[in-house]
Structure 1
Amino acid sequence: MRTTDPARAAVRRLVPLCAITAAVLAGCGGGSSATDDSGAASLLSSSPRGRSPILIEVPGRGKPLQVTQHSVTVYPATSVGSGATPAEQDLLTGGLGKTGLGAALPPGYADAANPTAAELRRNALHGNYRAILDPSAAGGYGRFYGPNISVDGTVTTGEGLIPGVEYLASLDDGGGRKRVVMAVQIPDSFDTAAPCLVLGPSSGSRGVYGAIGTSGEWGLKHGCAVALTDAGKGVGLHDLQNDTVNKVDGTRATRAAAGSLAQFAADVGDAALAAFNAVLPNRFALKHVHSQQNPEKDWGSDTLAAAQYAFFALEDHFAQRGKSMRFDKSNTLVIAGSASNGGAAVLRAAELDRSGIIDGVVASEPVTEIAGASGFGVALGGAPVEGFKTLADYVTYGNLLQPCAALAPDAAMNEVSVFNFMLIAGMNARAQARCAGLAAKGLVSGTTTQEQAADALARLHAYGWTVEHDRMHNAHWGLGNGPILSAMYPVAYGRFSVLDKVCDTSFAAVNGLGDPVAASATAVAQSFATANGTANGTPVTPVYDASPGGPKAWQLARSASTGALDFGLDTALCQRALVTGADPVTGAPLTASSTPTLAQSQAVQAGIAEVHVDGDLRGTPTVIVAGRSDALVPVNNNARAYAALNRSREGRKSNLRYVEATNAQHFDTFIPLSGFDNRFVPLHVYFNQAMDMMYAHLRNGAALPPSQVVRTTPRGGTPSLVVPAPALTATNIPPISATPAAGDRIGFTGTTLTVPQ
């Protein structure tokens, strides 16, 4: 709520505007708009007439974007139920409550092959909530966080249902190619005398409810409206074989029947699609990968657009209750908060926000795309650290080396765990083959597998990973993070069509032998609730189509250059070349006839340049929290680097605080699985604390905490698939301190971020 800076012009323009007179509305009617002295659009209600979009101007756009409102639904649930209908649901838990969200499985569908939109929403809330945090009681759910925890931290016996109204809309560029889904949730507890809004772009590639367990829950509990958005990612699975797509409400339809209601449909003609299917049947196109929009470049502006739509939704909502009210930056407290890619989105939104819509930012484990260490540095325990690479750079590099590095003694993950991929039949031998292939091509040194693995691990250290990550490489490779992200991000950055078949990689469901097969119709029908927008196997996975003998899933792919079953080393090399512009083996620049081509690499590099962060938050109060053990988004390449970059841009005017928690990593949801519960504590508790501190700072003037290392204590115990680690206690997760000890303070020497060991 910045009312003292008249130089910051308003960004929002909304026209026409419509009043909502029904619980569910398919479109908006015509109306009019006016502009006040500040340049912000006034919101005028009108009767719904026909179908007309809302127009929003956002930073960096040459023309306004269109917002199509799909529904306004009341979710009044006051007791736990099946959540099968809107009347049985609430905003946060889909009517399931704390108990239902804590259950390993969501409720079933009345017709599993034809789930309703309400059933899909309910189960999407269940899946997205549990995907972000540790849902086990021993890990803290229901005791340190969860729907039943009050805003002051009191553990209640309630189920935490939050009734209210939800506005569902989508944003596009008028051409039907860009599709950003937004859900504005207004709890019944919203206080018009002290209005607040929380912006929650989704983490990862998740759909519109991706931030429900982080900023969504925090905002709703505090009586704030919450603006959720997929930021151009989300569950948009185009089944190319059957030409079906997810609609905005999650249900499936043919591409033709879905029309403008499709979450995403690949831009391919019927003839081209038929030709593609004849060669590569049963394949899928993914929204984040194949939209040809490079959605990451718009994460910040999409987040700001969601804020602008939320102001409209608030005014419309209260107009229906006979209250003519205005909500905007001058009277509404706005906090942008999210995790991972969502953390990146809120930082980028603040960088773009020259109108002062956002009052404060909380970013957990953010992905920050930094173009090298120019003008800043990072030191750990007094020693300079390596890193400062972009996501595409370190992901494709790690994808080459991680399976080999995981064999190093220092990286040994000895726990009997679902994440220890070395325990899976054949994986150890394939990892050894990857080491041998890398050595033969001069990409690692050593004559024995152990020597090659140790060298691979050392090379990862030089690229930004640290010793805290050594025992995570095994797990991350087993999860497929390297192959999945390497198959996704270069294609997204290059704005390639699914028809381009970049690096001979596609996406399909596979059988136990790794062969592409027709996806289960039921799995596809339920994908809105179960998939996370990536190719993580629900229901599709990366397939290496050039694998000798026929297309194979990455786990079982061979390489033509080695003849070995080595996780498709040739494909990994191709993906690496897309990012670097050179042959990873010879170092020779790519050409017009190489694989990949120079033009393809140039397209990828241009896309990466579009997503570089600026680092200038213009004094916006910001708290970044990150886990020191995060091997997916290493702190040297991301959180630490961004804090240093910001200081180099803003100097002492910076209002950023950086909190680094030891023994915390990227995936809280995996902590209950053996090997993780003994070693790691949840980072989620520090996101919640940071949101509390930001709210107190903005609402009451409380000081933000100094930058610091929070030294946590692992739960310990003996790794076991049967016996969990001892239950998490307050001793394991000490709070962010208002007065950290000198040995825990993170500071600066010039523009070098100094982090204590």
Structure 2
Amino acid sequence: MTRTSIACLSGLLGLAAAACAPVPVAPELPVASEAPRVTAHRAGDDLLTAGLGADGLRAAIPPAFADPAAPTAGELRRRAIWANWRGIADLAPGGGYGEVYGRLDPVPGREYHAYAHIPGARQPHRVLVQVPDAFDRDARCVVVAASSGSRGIYGAIALAGAWGLPRGCAVAYTDKGAGTGYVDLATGQGAGLDGRPATGAAREFRVDAAADRGVAVKHAHSQDNPEADWGLHVKQAATFALEALDRAFPDAPPHRFGNVRVIAVGVSNGGGAVLRAAEDGEGWLDGVVAISPNVHPGEGGRPLYDYATEAALLMPCALAAEDFDALPMARPQGAVPPAWRARCASLHAAGLLEATTPAAQAREAHARLRAAGWSDAALEAGALSVAFDLWRSIVATYASAYARTPAGGMPCGYAFRAEGDDPAQRAAWWADASGIPPGAGVALAEAHAGDGADPHVPGLLCLRRLWTGDGAQAEALRAGVAATRAGPPRPGLPVIVVHGLDDGLIPEAFSGGPYAARARAAGRDLRYWRVHHAQHFDAFLGLPALAARYVPLMPYAYHALDRMAAHLDGAPLPEDAEIEPVPRRPGETLAVEGLRLPE
């Protein structure tokens, strides 16, 4: 479609306009009401690494601020890029980045920042376009991406930026209505467009600062259910990219859908967002690559809130079963963590487990999860999420988002609170936070925490009842989840989906697998790669025990983008693939042969 459209555009500029079919044009989708913030990044401050290079990104200590209480916009940007690279990619020595796959060469260019507005939404979402100085004017391309998880605007730089910028493509990002513009409701301080502390109308998150004394987090408290609009967020970022390119190159023919190649790519929540964008029938997208997508496929799959609340309750107990005795992540001190045993007892006391002994209770919880569709490989990798208490953070945040509750009215008595009163910590939220507390000096508080060894069970039971029970808030939450259900891609749109079979956060059996099956049943042009020995978090593979067990997914993401670009130039799409890589042995360096990338 894109190559044909470019040919037609050439005709329109010459004498052959009558022979050309109409170029698909997206309907008007307003992006920003004000001029974007434009910054140049060259000479020690590039687009891809903010001048840090490989060594700076690998440093264990974040880039410092000259004045911790008043960081500059440049300092915050550099630190945000450092944090987002380290949150997504495996940069550890021996992991293969920069040698087996990926590039970290400096990419000079300009950035265009703005707030975009979904019609009817309360809150804006951030959009960012990076335009390299080496943008290829003869083969104009845009890579559009949504941040993984609930990360800020640089949350896809390790995937979309690292693949697109060195190839001369502009890269467009959206935080898809989440991000790190936290607001301290006691002071009204949030983050402005440049990341620096701001108050009032200058803040990214337009929340009533008198509503509560805690911390407002946009994903949880926007009252927009942003996940329902992920596809529109991606489309607006792509639209903004065309506007930015017109500004960057005013002497060039206008940049429009149809004469600029647009490839959408994302991982995790970002992968779900680009699949939602793929549904759009307007023809503005040329190809889509989704990695480990958090997508609600309907029949055959399960929405995140369903299986995450189930995991938050049952998985600690299930991992205490003897089946996991040889799993280092499940026996961090050589034995079952006491808190996991306590969870078994709490579940029995709540009537959720019938067994009366700890060992039998663990086996029962394990059997319950297996019957619900969890594989042992997913449960083993899920031990990471249990160890870091991710499930509780995720379900509390998503419950508030789906039910559209404000900061002072989160379901089940949860709230986010600042830890201490450190102005320097608040000033760094925009750069340091992940978009879902706890972290960066913000804690998850529980009004109904219980006593004893397992205080979190009352809140988790309440969150689970919002999915299984009755009441106005439960109905509102389920309606919010229903609004996130994905449809098939646009007919004729090429799509590649890659999912790790050991994914313990977004299990393949609940998301990528059923989505691919439904899309192909609808006759869509989708290819699906299932990767054995791959879990959700490449960033954890710097730990030797995990590096010996799992391979990174990022090489497959870059390879899928290579294959998509080749397809758009005329090569056939790759075939479906069941990939059996060989994890590296302790002390070894990742080798390309062991990845067994599809031909």
TM-score interval for Structure 1 and Structure 2 normalised by the shorter chain:
over 0.9
String of CA shifts for 1:428-476, please: whole Å, max 9, x gaps: 2222121012123331232211111111112112223212123223221
Which structure has the greater CA radius of gyration?
A: 1
The residue that corresponds to 1:698 in the other structure is: 568
**1:632 alignment partner, one of 474, 494, 505:** 505
1:647 positional shift: 1.8
**2:275 alignment partner, one of 338, 347, 356:** 347
Contact 1:396/1:576 (<8 A) preserved:
yes
**1:361 alignment partner, one of 275, 279, 288:** 288
Within the alignment, does 1:410 sit opposite 2:340 as a pair?
no
The residue that corresponds to 2:100 in the other structure is: 144
The residue that corresponds to 1:399 in the other structure is: 312
What amino acid sits opposite 1:93 in the alignment?
A: T
1:5 positional shift: 8.9
Cα RMSD after superposing both structures: 2.3
Aligned pairs (5 A) from 1:67-466: 67-77=33-43, 88-148=44-104, 160-173=105-118, 177-253=122-198, 255-256=199-200, 259=201, 261-267=202-208, 270=210, 273=211, 276-277=212-213, 283-319=214-250, 323-352=251-280, 354-373=281-300, 388-412=301-325, 414-415=327-328, 423=333, 428-466=337-375
What amino acid sits opposite 1:264 in the alignment?
A: F
1:508 positional shift: 2.1
Contact 1:171/1:178 (<8 A) preserved:
no
TM-score by structure 2 length?
0.93
Contact 1:341/1:366 (<8 A) preserved:
yes
String of CA shifts for 1:302-336, please: whole Å, max 9, x gaps: 101111111111112111xxx14111222111110
Any idea what SS the aligned residue of 2:87 has? helix
Q: CA distance change for structure 1 residues 457 and 520 in 2, over 3 Å: closer, same or farther? A: farther
Greater share of helix:
2
Contact 1:421/1:474 (<8 A) preserved:
no
What is the CA–CA distance in structure 1 between the aligned matches of 2:438 and 2:503, rounded to whole Å? Answer: 19
What amino acid sits opposite 1:234 in the alignment?
A: G
What is the CA–CA distance in structure 1 between the aligned matches of 2:33 and 2:390, rounded to whole Å? Answer: 34
Any idea what SS the aligned residue of 1:371 has? coil
Greater RCO (CA < 8 Å, at least 6 residues apart): 2
Q: CA distance change for structure 1 residues 112 and 668 in 2, over 3 Å: closer, same or farther? A: same
Contact 1:98/1:147 (<8 A) preserved:
no
1:166 positional shift: 1.0
Contact 1:422/1:474 (<8 A) preserved:
no
Contact 1:128/1:212 (<8 A) preserved:
yes
What is the CA–CA distance in structure 1 between the aligned matches of 2:135 and 2:275, rounded to whole Å? Answer: 26
Within the alignment, does 1:573 sit opposite 2:443 as a pair?
no
1:519 positional shift: 4.7
Q: CA distance change for structure 1 residues 621 and 218 in 2, over 3 Å: closer, same or farther? A: same
String of CA shifts for 1:401-451, please: whole Å, max 9, x gaps: 011112112233653xxx6585499x8222212101212333123221111
Q: CA distance change for structure 1 residues 464 and 68 in 2, over 3 Å: closer, same or farther? A: farther
String of CA shifts for 1:495-521, please: whole Å, max 9, x gaps: 111121420111124xxxxxxx42532
What amino acid sits opposite 2:422 in the alignment?
A: S
When structure 1 is superposed on structure 2, of 180-189 and 613-622 the one drifting more is 613-622
What is the CA–CA distance in structure 2 between the aligned matches of 1:118 and 1:369, rounded to whole Å? Answer: 38
Contact 1:404/1:453 (<8 A) preserved:
yes
What is the CA–CA distance in structure 2 between the aligned matches of 1:141 and 1:105, rounded to whole Å? Answer: 19
Q: CA distance change for structure 1 residues 316 and 505 in 2, over 3 Å: closer, same or farther? A: same
What is the CA–CA distance in structure 2 between the aligned matches of 1:178 and 1:368, rounded to whole Å? Answer: 23
1:541 positional shift: 2.8
What amino acid sits opposite 2:558 in the alignment?
A: N
String of CA shifts for 1:591-638, please: whole Å, max 9, x gaps: xxxxxxx11111101111111001243121010011111000000001
What amino acid sits opposite 1:90 in the alignment?
A: D
String of CA shifts for 1:97-135, please: whole Å, max 9, x gaps: 222222222321111121111100011111111211101
Aligned pairs (5 A) from 1:587-666: 590=470, 598-648=471-521, 650-651=522-523, 654-666=524-536
Contact 1:240/1:284 (<8 A) preserved:
yes
Contact 1:629/1:663 (<8 A) preserved:
yes
Identical residues among aligned pairs (%) = 39
The residue that corresponds to 1:733 in the other structure is: 595
Q: CA distance change for structure 1 residues 544 and 307 in 2, over 3 Å: closer, same or farther? A: same
What is the CA–CA distance in structure 1 between the aligned matches of 2:183 and 2:324, rounded to whole Å? Answer: 39
The residue that corresponds to 2:553 in the other structure is: 683
Within the alignment, does 1:710 sit opposite 2:579 as a pair?
yes
Q: Could you list the runs of 5+ residues in structure 1 that have no partner in the other structure?
A: 7-35, 42-55, 59-63, 78-87, 149-159, 278-282, 374-387, 510-516, 548-557, 583-589, 591-597, 718-724, 738-757
What amino acid sits opposite 2:594 in the alignment?
A: N
Aligned length: 585
Q: CA distance change for structure 1 residues 508 and 421 in 2, over 3 Å: closer, same or farther? A: farther
What amino acid sits opposite 1:193 in the alignment?
A: D
